[in-house]
Structure 1
Amino acid sequence: MVRILVYEPLSAGDAATVESLGRGSAAHLDMLDAGLAMRNAVAGDLVRIPGIQVSLATGEQEAGHAIHGSRALTPRPGEGAPEFLRSQAPLHDFCWVVAPETGGLLLRLHAAVGAQRWIGCSAAAIRIAASKKATCAALDAAGIATPLAFSGDSWIVKPDDGAGTLQTRRYATRAAAEEDLQARLQAGRSALLQPFVAGEPLSIAIVVGPVLARPVAFNRQRLETDGDGWLHDLGVQPAALDPAGPRAAQLQALAERVAAALPGLRGYVGVDVVWNERKGPVVIEVNPRVTCAYAGLSAILQRNLAVDILAAHGCKPGRQLAGHAAT
């Protein structure tokens, strides 16, 4: 029996993560909804795999309740995410953490779990992907189109380590964008200015193994810009593009090139892309973790993606791994 802990900080009631978003704020509630959807999709896939025992981290409101087939674990009052994971990781063979890179959170949780039990990307890959600036530089050096290839008719200011469209704003002039950028930096906030890339927002869901990166779905993202220039994420349509359609070959090749350009990507990885009329697929960012597109994807594909992701980490359901026995 392989024991796997599934952890998502907001649904587990991690106070530091909640307070960083503003308890009860729109950002907190939106991220909580997204986190629950991803957490439940991951746990729901895992419980359907023979030979897997799933522990699900739950907050006080869910205490004692878990997805059918899993067992609930609730952190002690005041126990933060790293502390909880440090205490629970040795009791499990693997930990699958659903969390954003923002503020170094995903990297800290990786350190708490340890590389041996971590389902996901390496610390080095997370560190690069957590910075949109560093990601674009690495991809650009590999000859992959990013916003760096554009001169800009309009401009985007956003957190360098942000998730989704959180605090992302579009400006008609570079001067206005520069003013916003400097205000954020002077306030000690992570910020980045990039040319706006026009086109259709898409994403690629990839499963990356030791030697192979395989796109499993091409998704359509729904984004909206309000009257003040703020971008809003209206959701994702998983597997919206035909895998045999006219753009599939380019997107598949792009996924493989991204994985080669960022060593250490492993398991499920999401690549946000804009399909530009002139340049084709342009990579905006790389998410070294489960994204919102994961929710419902196994049902659409009629294949349990968790099986593929575990296999990418050398875990074959039904047998215990040497070197991964929980203590």
Structure 2
Amino acid sequence: MSGAGVRTLLVHEFLTAGGLVSAAGPETGGGPAVSGEDPAGHAALLAQGRAMRDAMLADLQALPAVRAGRLRLRVADCADAPWAAGAHQEVWRAEPGETPLDFARRLLQGVDLAWMVAPESDGLLAACLNLAGERRWIGCDAQAIAVASSKMRTLQALADHGVLTPLALRLADAASRWVVKPDDGAGCVATEVFDDAAAAEARAQARRATGEGVTLQPWVEGEAMSVSLLCTSGQAQLLSLNRQQVTVDVDGGVRYAGVEVGALAAADPRRRALQRLADRVRAALPGLRGFVGVDLVWHGGLGPVAIEINPRVSCAYAGQSARLGINLAGAVLAACGHPAD
């Protein structure tokens, strides 16, 4: 660990740490299944990762504890997303042949705190927590990550706490489209929409036959949204109401084109219902800590329908500090029991 009175905090965003590899999987700690054959997809994911990492670091660098050298930063980067070292920070890069998880393990040597961002896919976020240990971890606990890493477990937990989900009978009975997607997927990767229930079921069965864990759900019609939360042991503070840019191709493929953070005004009449949703989400997963995102659809007749939970920093983190007039990194550290000062 660091010297007396000085702590070291690791900032590790999986994609910009070199996690975008073609051989994805928990054995190697590979990233999302985007290979060199899809350079556009690779570039888009890397840009999202870089936006998250750079926003986290900008906030951290503004903290008095970092400026004074009481909190030092260790930053993971890669050749495609370099970060220049500055005062009270050091930059590390993976060695040739080093797997992403082996690199993370080496990065964690001698640090006091670890703020790590990784997809839930293939258990990567959980693996990062296991490497860091709960004592050093900045973020949600192991149980919350385990539930949020499965779309079906998430929906079941939320339904048990009065949250409307796509599995509700009134939505299922009225559905005209259905969606097949990975149970532990991140974003819209490998997500397909069908107009015919039988076709959706056949596709789900075909994907399961290959060993993939997929979920089949009614497609909820409405406005794609998300809420950004700051979660502590006692509450879920609503930071912003965001609009998700999600489209469905003619072939049924679902595409994610980004998020409009704070697109809905604080005075939006839906805010009260969304705060109730946030409170129920925190009650359903009491181990949520720090920055958390909830993806949802606003149904014209039924209100918010929860789709999934992101138990980590997401794309909606970027720009939040300036928009809210706070240092969100400092608030996250405090919410996780590690105030910076």
TM-score normalised by L of structure 1: 0.92
Matching residue of 2:91:
72
Matching residue of 1:48:
62
SS of 1:236's partner is: strand
How big is the alpha-carbon RMSD for the aligned residues of Structure 1 and Structure 2?
1.8
Match of 1:84 among 84, 88, 103: 103
Matching residue of 2:45:
31
Aligned partners of 2:236 and 2:322: how far apart in 1? 21
Report the number of matched residues: 318
Matching residue of 2:290:
267
Aligned partners of 1:218 and 1:19: how far apart in 2? 27
**Partner AA of 1:74 in structure 2:** R
Q: Which runs of 4+ in 1 moved over 3 A?
A: 60-64, 66-70
Matching residue of 2:8:
3
Q: Which moved more, 1:22-31 or 1:293-302?
A: 22-31
**Partner AA of 2:14 in structure 1:** P
Native 8 Å contact 1:165 1:232 kept in 2: yes
Structure 1: runs of 5 or more not aligned: 319-327
Matching residue of 2:181:
158
Alignment of 1:1-327 (within 5 A): 1-14=6-19, 15=21, 16=24, 17-18=30-31, 20-25=33-38, 26-52=40-66, 53-61=72-80, 65-66=84-85, 70-149=89-168, 150-151=171-172, 152-318=175-341
Greater relative contact order: 1 or 2 (C-alpha under 8 angstroms, separation 6 or more)? Answer: 1
SS of 2:262's partner is: coil
Structure 1 residues 212, 19: CA separation in 2 closer, same or farther (over 3 Å shift)?
closer
Quote how far apart the aligned CAs of 1:10 are: 2.2
Quote how far apart the aligned CAs of 1:262 are: 1.0
SS of 2:16's partner is: coil
Matching residue of 1:325:
none
Native 8 Å contact 2:14 2:118 kept in 1: yes
Matching residue of 1:321:
none
Matching residue of 2:69:
none
Structure 1 residues 76, 268: CA separation in 2 closer, same or farther (over 3 Å shift)?
same
**Partner AA of 1:243 in structure 2:** A
Deviations 1:61-99 (A, max 9, x none): 556734776321112222223223323324222111111
Quote how far apart the aligned CAs of 1:24 are: 5.0
Aligned partners of 2:87 and 2:18: how far apart in 1? 20
Structure 1 residues 142, 99: CA separation in 2 closer, same or farther (over 3 Å shift)?
same
Native 8 Å contact 2:16 2:49 kept in 1: yes
Deviations 1:84-138 (A, max 9, x none): 3323324222111111101111111111111111111111111110000110011
Quote how far apart the aligned CAs of 1:13 are: 1.6
Aligned partners of 2:80 and 2:103: how far apart in 1? 17
> What's the % identity of the aligned pairs?
43
Native 8 Å contact 2:162 2:280 kept in 1: no
Q: Which moved more, 1:69-78 or 1:106-115?
A: 69-78
